[in-house]
Homo-oligomer: A and B are copies of this chain.
Amino acid sequence: MKISELSDRSGVAVASIKFYLREGLLPAGALSSPTQASYDESHVRRLRLVRALIDVGDLSVAATRTVLAAIDDTSLPIDWAFGIAQQAISTSITTTDAAAEPSVGAALLDTVLTQRGWRISDDNPGRAMAERVLDTYERLGLGHLVSTLPAYVRAAEIVAEADLAAVAQSTERADMVETVVVGTVLGDALFAGVRRVAQERASDIAFPSPEGEC
């Protein structure tokens, strides 16, 4: 199909498609004449994925390129795909102010992980994110928010098990890796969404409206 049809099929503007081609997020089409390229179903599918990662997952172009490369690298072990997807979506959050001083948050997180018997690598990008939030709670004098950590870890265990179970439903390697990447990137937004729903319910229970009020 021509680029105009690819645009119609995917709902992505021609100018955006050209941008993604230039940025290496979309493979070039086959040349059907010296001035015209032809695209196929794989381009429609890849375009949808690119838009999902950028629009819904809020990834940068560079991070999108990294996770697409992971999907396309058929020699990559499946379990590495988690790490690559995690790194790609975590860099924007764990910025450069990693403190050299020993962190209260790091000690708190280690205590909870040790209690659960988890052995987690030091360079897991989630560590720095969690430690930074815990440090901030302490610095703000809101240490009681630290007491939520064990519940967050228990909840994360439930989510991670569901993530892995979804991956296991795929039989082909390409499907598995795409599931890992998309689920890791978009799962943050899904959880953030249902957390707001669950907060409304928990708040309704804790602070019930007077009768007659809606």
Interface residues of A (CB under 8 A from B): 45, 48-49, 52, 55-56, 58, 77-79, 82-83, 86, 90, 93, 95, 97, 109, 113, 118-121, 124-134, 136-137, 139-142, 144-145, 147-149, 151-170, 178-179, 182-184, 186-207
Q: What B residues does A191 contact at CB under 8 A? A: 152, 155-156, 191-192, 195
A177 to chain B, nearest CB (A): 11
Contact A195 B127 (CB under 8 A): no
Measured in the bound complex, the distance between the Cα atoms of B179 and A123 in whole Å is 30
Q: What B residues does A195 contact at CB under 8 A? A: 126, 156, 159-160, 187-188, 191
Contact B118 A203 (CB under 8 A): no
Contact A126 B193 (CB under 8 A): yes
Measured in the bound complex, the distance between the Cα atoms of B70 and A181 in whole Å is 37
Q: What B residues does A200 contact at CB under 8 A? A: 82-83, 120-121, 124, 126
A136 to chain B, nearest CB (A): 5
Measured in the bound complex, the distance between the Cα atoms of B187 and A52 in whole Å is 24
Q: What B residues does A58 contact at CB under 8 A? A: 93
Measured in the bound complex, the distance between the Cα atoms of B55 and A93 in whole Å is 9
Nearest 10 CB-CB pairings of A with B: A126-B196, A130-B193, A129-B193, A151-B162, A155-B155, A160-B198, A156-B198, A79-B207, A160-B202, A148-B162
Contact B159 A198 (CB under 8 A): yes
Q: What B residues does A167 contact at CB under 8 A? A: 206
Measured in the bound complex, the distance between the Cα atoms of B193 and A113 in whole Å is 13
Q: What B residues does A97 contact at CB under 8 A? A: 55
A25 to chain B, nearest CB (A): 15
Can you list 9 A-B contacts with CB-CB less than 8 angstroms, sorted by A residue number? A52-B139, A120-B200, A124-B196, A126-B194, A132-B193, A133-B193, A148-B166, A152-B191, A159-B195
Contact B164 A203 (CB under 8 A): yes
Contact A156 B49 (CB under 8 A): no
Contact B56 A136 (CB under 8 A): yes
